[in-house]
Amino acid sequence: MNTAHELVEQAVGDHRHHNVPPRIREIVDRHHQTLLGLANALIAAGRDEDEVVQIIQKASESFSIKLRTETESLSS
């Protein structure tokens, strides 16, 4: 059985951000902690792993797109 951490990695593995400006780093870290918290809460509520991964993916998708746009605009 996978841990919440592994499920979050599985869900957002392609969306991890590096070289993020400092003022956004804190938000990114909190976002990641929230995804872990959400995964834990879903597991505790008895949701199966596939469903957890799917929910985490959807929950993080817009954030990742917006973050990428924002990071690009700040570095330009």
Partner 1 sequence: MNAVCELNHFAKAKFDEPGRQRALDRLKVVDSQAEPPFERIVDLVKTTLNAPICAVTLVDNDRQWFKAFRGLNVDQTPRDVAFCDHAIRAEAPFIVEDATKDARFANNPLVLFEPHIRAYLGIPLKMPDGYIVGTLCVIYQEPKAFSEHEIAILQNFANLVVGELELRTMAFTDGLTNLLSRKAWRDRVEVEIDRAARYTNAGAILLLDLDHFKSINDTYGHDVGDLVLRKTAEIVNAVLRKHDIVGRLGGEEFAVCVANAPASVGLAVAERLRGQIAALAFPDHPGLSCSASIGVAAFEPGATVDALLKQADEALYEAKRMGRNQVRMGESAALPSWTD
Binding site for partner 1 (CB under 8 A): 23-24, 27, 30-31, 33-35, 37-38, 40-42, 44-46, 55, 58-59, 61-63, 66-67, 69-70, 73
Smallest separation, CB 13 to partner 1 (Å): 18
Q: How far is the CB of 21 from partner 1 (least distance, A)?
A: 8
To partner 1, the closest distance from the beta carbon of 43 in angstroms equals 9
Q: How far apart are CA 55 and CA 2, in angstroms?
A: 15
